[in-house]
Amino acid sequence: MRLTRARSFMAAGVVAATSLATVAVLIAGPASAKPAAPASSRPVVLVNPCNTNQGLVKPSTYDNGCMPSQEFVSGLSWTSWTSTAFGSGTLKVNNCNPSCAMGKYIKFPILVVLWRAQPWPHHAGRKYFSRLTWIFTGKRPSGVHTAAQTFTLPS
């Protein structure tokens, strides 16, 4: 009787394990199944303002004018780059003292947020970030009264 009872428990255990494995495959899919690809595998881009046909992905520098400008962002490090991008860097502003040609760049630490992804004109199926917000984490340039500034970006 003990042998029969032991076999019953083993059989019940095998059935339970098989059932759990079947349920796991039904929920997660077979081991060879790949996750569904997103609708667009192309990343959202930051448009280079000096060359609007050039889309940048996770750039280390960004000049919101065209070089040589009086301010630009450098040392960018990105923590996220999806439909919104988050990073940090340094805003460098020329003090233009005694002139802009001879001035020094003053550094301001900032957080950067790229947002409002929009369809990129003349680039079928692509999106670009249409807004940039930088947030000062320390001192700010003279004349800047708010801790954050938002800009509309070129397409």
Instruction: Spell out the domain ranges in the chain.
Output: 1-36, 46-152
* Long-range contacts, 83-90 (Cβ 8 Å, 24+): 83/44, 83/117, 83/127, 84/113, 84/114, 84/115, 84/117, 85/44, 85/46, 85/58, 85/112, 85/113, 85/114, 85/115, 85/129, 86/111, 86/112, 86/113, 87/111, 87/112, 88/112, 88/137
The pLDDT value given to residue 67: 66
Each residue's pLDDT tens digit in the chain (155 positions)?
444 444 444 444 433 333 333 333 333 444 444 444 454 579 999 998 888 889 999 999 998 887 667 899 999 999 999 999 999 999 999 999 999 889 999 999 999 999 999 999 999 999 999 999 999 999 999 999 999 999 999 88
